Every structure is written in structure tokens, then in C-alpha cells.
Structure 1
Amino acid sequence: MGSDHITSREQLIGMLGEAAEVEHTLMCTYLYAAFSLKTDEADGLTDTQRAAVRRWRRSIIRVAVEEMGHLAIVANLSVAIGGPAHFNRLNFPIAPGPLPAAMCVRLAPFTQDTLQHFIFLERPLDSNEPDGESFGKARDYQRGPLQQTKLMPVTYDYETVGELYDTIIRSFESLQVRYGEGHLFVGDRSRQIGPEISPLPGLMTICHLDHAREAVNTIKEQGEGADAHSDNSHFDRFCKIRMEWQELLEADPDFVPARPVANNPVMRRPPTPDGKVWITHDIGARVLDYANALYIQQLRLLSQAFGRPGEAYEKQVLINAATDLMYAMTPAAEALTTYPCHDGADCNAGMTFAMVRGMSPLPIGTEWQVLNCRFTELTDEGPNLRGLHPKVDRSLDMLEGVAATFSRHVDIICSDPDTECDA
């Protein structure tokens, strides 16, 4: 994939949309694997094993948080050139086509094969790390090149995520030559989310080419690492987990750090069931519905924060609520992995991160009423879920705190005569 393919702002916006989907899907797959880990004393691990698994869980979730930061950086890059923040994605598993055929994207428990897949996804371009054996190409397929495609946005195949970002920054450079800086970076900087609003690692606002280069380099160095493969890159962290896991296996060949969670669980009857597991267990399905609803509310809040005009205070309220919801979602998602997928199943349930069709921002002004109403609907379900699992109870307690804080802020915002809360 080369920068000569990117000849317009429309094409670059489309490529940034794909980059957002890559970051979004990676975040979900990492969280899914982390939620499957055995971290409780009742899970049957030795003290040494449990301590290691808890470290791995923290490390993987930290990587997922950084992927959320990459998603936010990509949103800022798009807003900077007059495009939208992109939080949509396809439901799992994702077939070849929307993403390169070499990039297998599905939900899987934390196994050695899954870990090798993560290492493969985050590998530097010069790495010879193989993919996990079960994550090979589903079919022989390539997306391009399409020689006659000059106006419609298309994205071609790339070997690594780093290569995608190399093409993105070359495209910024070539389009600045074509348009001029003042005509490329036309987005209002105040519509972006900066470090003063969100503590996500590496987040920055962008208003010229040097900022874009710095932002892309941040994503690459946190992911695949710098040329010398920094000690704290995603690639390096996953490699260290692999090394420690091997040492623990040498001491105990029966060591299994994760629960037998399903590959590609779905919350609705799948029209094409091959390779998917429908969650129908009574309690599991209820907890899944709840966890997915928290996830969608989180995306609503993020979508509402980016690209909006107005006070930093309002963006801060939205970002804080989204971040707190992610932490509230986590114990519910972990509890879910203790229930079978269905009666008689030999695998456990897992969060599906199911998407809804409409993730576009809500109308400015009325969004406060809509989001607050949704929080009420979520908390009203609490009495029907309490007592199912201690971690679900913890999640509900956290949700109630997030909802109450958000409601107080909405009262303040809507008391402002310039806010159209009653529109």
C-alpha cells in the first residue's frame, strides 16, 4: 500500500476510519482475553501462578487502554482535517474484506495461540514472528490494487499496523503539498480532545503536520515499539508474557491461566453459525446483555465528546463518564466468563461487544437528556441483576456512582440558559 493511492481528503478520512476500526477491534480482543484469565483464589492456581496471571491481566488491560488512546488520537487526526471521529465497527468475527485478509479478527480466550496472535498483530515490519496457528487466513483473498479507483475511498492491504500508519503519515505529507497546510488542517482544534480533558496515554491535539507526525509516532512506538523495540511497547510486553508463561509451564505442564471461554460468542441467533457460539444460558445471557449495554453507553459518550463545539467542561463530563463505565463494565465481563454458554456446553460465556447500527453523535443539546435517560434505564435494571454474582454486584455499585455523578453534571449544564437541554 503506497501513499500514491491517497489523492484526496476523502480518501484520507476513509483510511483514518479504517485505522480507528483496527484500534477499536484490537482493544476489544485484548479485553476479551484479559477477562478470561483466572485471577481469583477459587480458580485453583498456586500463589506464584495467580500472581503472574494478575500481572498479565494488568498488562493486557493497560495495552487495551492504550489502544483506546490510539482510537482517540485517530479521532483527533480525522477531526483536524475536517472529518468525523469514527467509533463504528463490524461485529465479531470480522471476515476478510473490511480489514486485510492477513488480519484475523475474532474473540478468543487467553491461550498460547491467542498470545502468539497478539504478538503477530503488534510485530514490527522487520519481525518474522508467525501468527497463531488457529488465526491463519480464512481464505485466499486480497483487497487490491484497484487500478481505476481514483475518486472513491479505498484502502489496500498492509502487512502490519505500523505499515498502515506509515501510509497515513505519507498521505498527510502529500496532501499538505496538494492543498497547503491552511487548507488541509481545517478542523477546529477546540473540537478535539486533548490531555487536559483525558488522561489517555499520548493523547494530543493536532493542528499542523508536525503534530500529525508526532501523533502517529506515538501510536507506532506504543504498539510495535521504536526501532530498538522499546521495553514498554505492546509487542515487547506480549513477548515478556510469553517468556514468563513458558517458565511457568516448565515448572507445571498442567498450568492453564484462563477459563475455557468460547471463541466468537454472539448474543443473538447467528444467521451463519459456523465458528460462533450463541449465549443462551439464562444468567449468562442476562449478564451479557448488561455488559454490552454498558459498552454501548461508553461508545455513546465517547462519540458525543469528539467533534463537538462548546465548553471543555462538557467534554470532560462525557470523557470521565465513558472512562468510569469501562471500569464498571470490567467486573461484569469477568463474571460472565464463569457461566456456561448454554446448558451442557463445554465452554463458558464471554462478552461479545455487540454493536448497534446508529453510533453517530446525538443532536447537540438534547444529548444530555438522552444519555441521562439511558443511565436511568441501566440502573433501573439493577434489582433484577443483584445477587447473581459478587462481581456483577460490584459493577452495579460502580454504575450507580457513574450515573449519579453524570446526573449532577447534567443538572448543572442544563441550568445554563445557553444550553438547549429543553429543546
Structure 2
Amino acid sequence: MSQKKLQKIQPDAELHGILQNITDPEKEEFVELIYSLLKQASTTEHLLAMQYLFTSFSLKKYPEEFSDYTSEYYIEEGQVWTGDPSLIKKRTLTDDEKKINVIREAQVEKIRRWEANMLMVSREEMTHLCYDMNLLAILGKDPYMYRPNFPVPATSFPLGKPVNLMPFSPIALEIFRYWEKPDHLPVRDPLEAEGIPEDLKDLFTVPHKDPDQFNHPETHQEAIDFLKKFLTNSLSQDVMDKIHDPLTNGTYFDSIEQLYTFIRAFLLIGLKYKIIEGQNMERIVDEHYGFNITLNPLVIGQFEEYVEEAIEQIIEEGEGVWGIPPALGSHFWVFQSVIDELKEESKSNQLSFEPALPVVWNPTCSTLKDRHLINNLPNMPENATYQVTNTVAIKAMKLFDEAYTTMIKMLSGFFGHYEIDQTTGIRPPQVNAYFQTAFYPFMTNIIRPLGEMICRLPADESFVPEGGKVPDRCAGPDFLFDIVQTDPAEREKVIKPFDNCQDYMAAFKSMQEQAKTLKTECENRGYHMAFYLQPDARDFPIAFQYLEENFYRIGLNFEAYWCGKMVAPISSKGFQNYSTNFN
């Protein structure tokens, strides 16, 4: 970890006097203030991680997904592909076809590198979400894994901009770069960017501050002044509403950096003045995804040090706040690099270059208006979401949503009950079941491949398959929580872990059956991926069969871990996947 670059938290004389005389009810209000800000932070990290995943899923992976790529493999016109290899024939390509193919194959490799970088950013956002769960634990609160459904209104996101599920494109990259920009760096407002679909422009024409007002050189002092007003009941009701319920009352903050600066100041002051005692040391997670978190593990008496380290890493890793330009490897730098490479690639040859499949913006499989906050606002466009009508895609999206919601419940259980034996590296059975399922294999063997498959299914019921031709409009996962968005009780319920193993097993069984049905329906409709004739290709039916088998095996393993019949193996001598002072 680099040398500390954050300002020292030093309450002035006025705030010191207020804190010296704080009452117990005021302490509770102070804790609730921090709780509200941490929920906003976790919501933000969650939204960004899912948004980046969606864009990654939309990228082309195979040269056959370019319409001008000529495969040497084909079946004769009129033949129906039955999976019989004897039907496949080979052709001799012309020199022009070979030339185009070489260009497309090179572009696919570049796209795969962009995808890897974006997946890395998404994973790091999930790491930041883990840090937020740890800070909630220190505060004595349960994990908070909720976030509103896409598209998120500008009034409900800390940056005051709408959050959409967008396929890979220059506009998507500009918006992502804007999310990750440090406050001191002038970056063009994405509201002014080109490429926003016409029927969605109304989403972006919301009142917003001048970009010059998004610079907070005195954010530290701003947080101190805010806290003095809060503790003396001098804040307006409008500000209090924004702080405690931004989803329905609008956001107070202008940037991620500003939000975390407030959180850091309030946590450190709360710990310094014993308003917060610091709790749940055993619940602080320093491992996930099978890898170590880079922060030092928390020990008793080091709560302030942990807060400093966690928040410094979040804003340095994301925004690269102390570099001009921002640090190499920061999320801002990643998106800026992809923007530069995309521009260069588009100029470098005569072929048009579209790295993404024709995935629609903000796909949804729900017909209920109360599933999207955007529908509660006046003057919002009717087409803020794209209603997917293809029945196969809808079933795949609903499978994805059930898998995603089940994963969120497992993560809530993991973060809420985390502990580990410091001498053996072994977790209790239920925590072990969550750890061995939610990260690997669920994220990698279910969420990612299913999301990529949905981005290759047609969005419209009118689609007529033509071999492996990419549909004119493709669907996409909607990451939908199937609940009324304005109901706080439903929000709490949807992220709450199941109490028993049977409920999880029922979910795995349900998803297994859905995958089996989708395999059959793709076969019956003649739906194929663009590369299905390639040797060892993975077509829709095969991929859904793999998912069916994965759900079955994951269920067996989950039950074995939950009941203590199977214990997670220690990966290697010395606990190399587990960072503690005992190594």
C-alpha cells in the first residue's frame, strides 16, 4: 500500500465541543447517518460492477460474429444441422476473404483483451463492495447487497446521472470513464456525448450541476461542516431525505470520491470519540474469489487503521485520485486506454469495426412497471427499458435473474456470518458452503456464461433463425430483482439469505430444470451461435446442457459443505490463499 495521501481527520474546536457532549440518542443518529452513507456506497459499487459485466458480456468473442467473416466450414443450403459432423463441408477461401478474416481475427484478440480488462475492473468493484460489507460489520450492521433495477434514475445515483445497461460502445466507455474520474480532473460530461439512442435521450436531459461544480478541493472540510450541521439539527429536511433515502428523494453527492471522503471522516471521528466502539472483528473478510484481499487483516484495536486502508484503496484503485494523469491500472486509466485503442483501431483499416453484438439497452423480461424506479418519475421516456418478447430469451433471462438473486442471498449469508479458524484456515460449514459456491463456481460457471449466451439470443419473438447469423437485436441479462422497487420490506427480503439448506437446494433444482428446458427449446427453434459449425464449437444446446449439469453438481457440493460432509481443502501449505499474520 502506498504512503497515506488522505488528509488527516482533525475536528475543529466547535465540532470537538459538540462531540464531547453528544447524547446517546444523538450517537444513534450519528451511527444511522454512517449506515445510510455506507448503503449508498455499496449500492454504487454493486451497480457499477453489474453495469461493467453487462457491457463485457455484449462483446463479440468469435470472428464468425462479424457479418463479413467467411468460415471455411459450411453445410449445404437446405440442410438442417443435427449435430452430425458428416454434414460439415470445407470450402477454399478467396484471397479477399482471407484478408478480411485475418483482420477480424486480429480484432477479436484485441476485443478479448478489452473484455479481460473490463472484467478485472468489475471484479475490483466487487472487492470494493466487500470492503463496504466489512465497514458495515465494524459499524455493527448487517450486509447490504441491494441495489435498484436498471435503468437507475439520475436522482437515485450518487453521481446524478442515469445508470443504464449498455452494450459496448464509445458512449458506454465515456460514461464509465466519467464514473471513475477523480474530482480534480476535468472530463467531458457524458450527457453531452454522441451515440445515445434517440429514444433514450430524455433519460439524459435531467437537470444537473455544471461540471465545474463537481470539483471538491475542500471535501474534507465539507464533511466536517456537514457533520456540525447534522449534530446541531441545522440541515434542511430536503438534505436529510436525500441522505437517508436517496432512491426516492434524490442524491446529495456528486462523486464517488466525495461520498467516500464523508464516510471516512465520519467513521474515524466516530471511532476516535468512542461513538462507535468497533465490532465484529471476526466478521472482517480478507479473502474472496479464492484470492487474498490486499488489505492487512484487522486485529483488535486497529479499526481506525483498517478504515483508512480500505477507503484509500477504494478511491485509489478506482479513480486513481493522486495521479495526474490518474495512476496506471486505475479504473479510469483502464477505460481511457480502451477508448484510445478503439479510436486507433477504427482508423487503422478500411473495414467498419463494431466490437459489440447488437444487444439492446436496458433489456427487461418483466412487464410490471413497479419493477423499475424509472417508471415512477414524470416525463420519463416510454422506452427507457426494452421489452424483450422472444420467449426463449425471456426464459433465459428469468433463469439468470433467479441465479443472480440466489447468488446475492449466498453473498449476504457469507458476509453476514463470516468467520474462519485462524489456525487451520477452515470456515464453519454454512460459511464454507457460501464461499465454495457463490464465488467459484457460481460467478464463473453460471453468471458469466449464461450472461454471454443471453447476449446471443434474439430480443424479438419475430426473429427467424438463419444458421448461426447474429440476430438484428439481441437480448441481454437484466439483473432484475423481481420485487416492487419502492417497498423497503421487499428490498430487505430479496437480499436476505435463506435460513435452511432445503431452500437453496430447491433453487438449484429449479434452475437445473430451466436450463434443461432451454436446451430443448433452442434445439426445437433451430437457434445456433455464429460459430456452431467450428470443430469443438459450443452451441446453445450444449451450453445449456453444461449449465444443467453445473446446477446439479453445485447443488450436491453445496449440500455437502452445508452439512459438514465435505470440508474445503486448504489450497497449499502456508495458506497461500488466505492472508493472515499466521502465515
Q: Which amino acid in 2 is paired with 1:317? A: A
- Counterpart for residue 39 of structure 2: 17
Evaluate the alpha carbon distance shift between residue 37 and residue 196 of structure 1 in structure 2; reply closer, same or farther with a 3 A threshold: closer
User: How far 1:162 moved relative to its partner?
Assistant: 1.6
Q: Which amino acid in 1 is paired with 2:449? A: P
Counterpart pick for 2:477 among 343, 351, 360: 351
Counterpart pick for 1:94 among 137, 152, 162: 152
Evaluate the alpha carbon distance shift between residue 8 and residue 260 of structure 1 in structure 2; reply closer, same or farther with a 3 A threshold: same
Counterpart pick for 2:125 among 53, 67, 79: 67
Q: Does 1:321 align with 2:437?
A: yes
* SS of residue matched to 1:34: helix
- Counterpart for residue 406 of structure 1: 558
- Counterpart for residue 331 of structure 2: 234
Worse-matched range after superposition: 374-383 or 34-43: 374-383
Report if aligned partners of 1:36, 1:109 keep a CA contact under 8 Å in 2: yes
Evaluate the alpha carbon distance shift between residue 203 and residue 305 of structure 1 in structure 2; reply closer, same or farther with a 3 A threshold: farther
User: How far 1:174 moved relative to its partner?
Assistant: 2.3
Q: Does 1:266 align with 2:364?
A: yes
Evaluate the alpha carbon distance shift between residue 151 and residue 52 of structure 1 in structure 2; reply closer, same or farther with a 3 A threshold: closer
Worse-matched range after superposition: 167-176 or 132-141: 132-141
Q: Does 1:251 align with 2:348?
A: yes
Counterpart pick for 1:184 among 272, 276, 281: 276
Report if aligned partners of 1:76, 1:205 keep a CA contact under 8 Å in 2: no
Cα distance in structure 1, aligned partners of 2:514 and 2:394: 14
Evaluate the alpha carbon distance shift between residue 307 and residue 122 of structure 1 in structure 2; reply closer, same or farther with a 3 A threshold: same
* SS of residue matched to 2:147: coil
Runs of 5+ in structure 2 lacking a partner? 1-8, 16-26, 70-103, 210-225, 370-374, 376-381, 421-426, 464-471, 483-489, 523-539, 568-583
User: How far 1:406 moved relative to its partner?
Assistant: 1.1
Identity %: 20
Report if aligned partners of 1:189, 1:205 keep a CA contact under 8 Å in 2: no
Cα distance in structure 1, aligned partners of 2:419 and 2:345: 53
Evaluate the alpha carbon distance shift between residue 245 and residue 310 of structure 1 in structure 2; reply closer, same or farther with a 3 A threshold: closer
Worse-matched range after superposition: 152-161 or 273-282: 152-161
Worse-matched range after superposition: 94-103 or 120-129: 94-103
> 1:3-402 residue pairs with structure 2 within 5 A?
8-44=30-66, 46-100=104-158, 102-132=160-190, 133=193, 134=196, 137-140=204-207, 147-149=235-237, 153-154=243-244, 157-178=252-273, 180=274, 183-195=275-287, 199=291, 201-202=293-294, 206=298, 208-228=303-323, 229-252=326-349, 254-271=352-369, 272=375, 273-308=382-417, 312-313=427-428, 314-323=430-439, 324-327=441-444, 328-344=446-462, 346-356=472-482, 357=490, 358-362=493-497, 366-386=499-519, 388=522, 389=540, 390-402=542-554
* SS of residue matched to 1:17: helix
Runs of 5+ in structure 1 lacking a partner? 416-423
- Counterpart for residue 421 of structure 1: none
Which has the higher Rg, Structure 1 or Structure 2? 2
Cα distance in structure 2, aligned partners of 1:203 and 1:394: 36
Cα distance in structure 1, aligned partners of 2:387 and 2:40: 28
Cα distance in structure 1, aligned partners of 2:456 and 2:363: 14
Worse-matched range after superposition: 226-235 or 337-346: 337-346
Cα distance in structure 2, aligned partners of 1:92 and 1:105: 7
Evaluate the alpha carbon distance shift between residue 238 and residue 391 of structure 1 in structure 2; reply closer, same or farther with a 3 A threshold: farther
Cα distance in structure 2, aligned partners of 1:112 and 1:151: 37
Report if aligned partners of 1:106, 1:263 keep a CA contact under 8 Å in 2: yes
Q: TM-score, normalised by structure 1?
A: 0.87
Evaluate the alpha carbon distance shift between residue 342 and residue 200 of structure 1 in structure 2; reply closer, same or farther with a 3 A threshold: farther
User: How far 1:250 moved relative to its partner?
Assistant: 0.6
User: How far 1:62 moved relative to its partner?
Assistant: 1.2
Report if aligned partners of 2:560, 2:566 keep a CA contact under 8 Å in 1: no
Worse-matched range after superposition: 47-56 or 369-378: 369-378
Report if aligned partners of 2:278, 2:303 keep a CA contact under 8 Å in 1: no
Evaluate the alpha carbon distance shift between residue 409 and residue 330 of structure 1 in structure 2; reply closer, same or farther with a 3 A threshold: same
Report if aligned partners of 2:512, 2:548 keep a CA contact under 8 Å in 1: yes
Cα distance in structure 2, aligned partners of 1:200 and 1:329: 22
Cα distance in structure 2, aligned partners of 1:190 and 1:351: 36
- Counterpart for residue 420 of structure 1: none
User: How far 1:48 moved relative to its partner?
Assistant: 1.3
Report if aligned partners of 1:30, 1:61 keep a CA contact under 8 Å in 2: yes
Evaluate the alpha carbon distance shift between residue 55 and residue 101 of structure 1 in structure 2; reply closer, same or farther with a 3 A threshold: closer
Report if aligned partners of 1:223, 1:234 keep a CA contact under 8 Å in 2: yes
Q: Which amino acid in 2 is paired with 1:191? A: R
Cα distance in structure 2, aligned partners of 1:124 and 1:106: 21
Deviations 1:213-249 (A, max 9, x none): 1001111121011412221111111111111111110
User: How far 1:195 moved relative to its partner?
Assistant: 2.2
Report if aligned partners of 1:27, 1:68 keep a CA contact under 8 Å in 2: yes
* SS of residue matched to 2:145: coil
